[in-house]
Amino acid sequence: MNRSIKNAHGIEKQWVVLEELATKLIHNGKVIPEEVFFRLRIANSIISYYLIDEHASIDMLMKANNELSKIQSVLFSLCDNKLAEEYLDKLSKAMRNDLDVEFPINRNKFNVEVKKRKNVEAIRVKLNNDLQSEILSDLSEWYGVIFEYSGELDNTIVIEGSKDRVKNALKNFSIIWKFQRDNIIS
């Protein structure tokens, strides 16, 4: 699946700089509060989500930036003047998107097919065998949701729509799925 990754306006590079600073402070013998690592993980997840999900809004970057601001205030309070100046310079370059560092996108836990956007939900159902596309089309019409094959996993159906409709479609689809599982439908 070849998707272009969005621009995070240097926020992802700021994350890299702050993560590097935290590591350097640890190597210098400083005790870093667990909150910093907790917020780094949160910020990484938010930025990864923004970069990968084509539907993620710029508001996500603002949330990541808030986390990074909190991290920055804690880390710089632990720095001596020389280290603070070095990393303020790096952060300044990161903000201008002039720093050449690579952000470690968290792809392991994120799946573009399983998401929640406002009132839209999507789930995946693993099948033992293929279903005819006409059946999926009929199910889509009947329940007012989208039934389609996954672009990421074999023999997997993605059901997308409003939460109530997805629940109803899934409940009724489970009958077909059980028959299909028992090799009645092929």
Query: Mind listing the pLDDT tens digit for each residue in 45-95?
Result: 889 888 887 778 888 899 999 999 999 999 999 999 999 999 999 999 999
Q: What is the pLDDT of residue 185?
A: 46
Closest CA to 96 of 155, 17, 42, 169: 17
Query: Mind listing the pLDDT tens digit for each residue in 87-135?
Result: 999 999 999 988 888 887 765 443 444 455 566 677 777 777 777 777 8
Q: In the sheet that 146-149 helps form, which strands lie side by side, from edge to edge?
A: 116-117, 120-126, 156-162, 146-149
Structure tokens at 60: 């996500």
The sign of the CA dihedral 44, 48, 51, 56 is: negative
Of the chain, the end-to-end C-alpha distance in Å amounts to 27
Closest CA to 12 of 56, 39, 50: 50
What is the residue whose two structure tokens read 């997805």? 166
Closest CA to 125 of 173, 77, 80: 173
pLDDT category of residue 20 using cuts at 50, 70 and 90: very high
Structural domains in the chain, sorted by start: 11-95 (no CATH), 116-181 (3.30.1370.10)
Query: Mind listing the pLDDT tens digit for each residue in 121-171?
Result: 777 777 777 777 778 788 888 888 888 887 777 778 888 888 888 888 888
Cβ atoms of 55 and 119 within 8 Å: the answer is: no
pLDDT category of residue 5 using cuts at 50, 70 and 90: low
- Within 10 Å of residue 36's Cβ, how many Cβ atoms? 20
Give CA separation, 184 vs 3, 75, 129, 173, 175, in Å: 37, 61, 10, 14, 11
Structure tokens at 165: 């409709």
Question: Strands 116-117, 120-126: parallel, antiparallel or unpaired by DSSP?
Answer: antiparallel
pLDDT category of residue 13 using cuts at 50, 70 and 90: very high
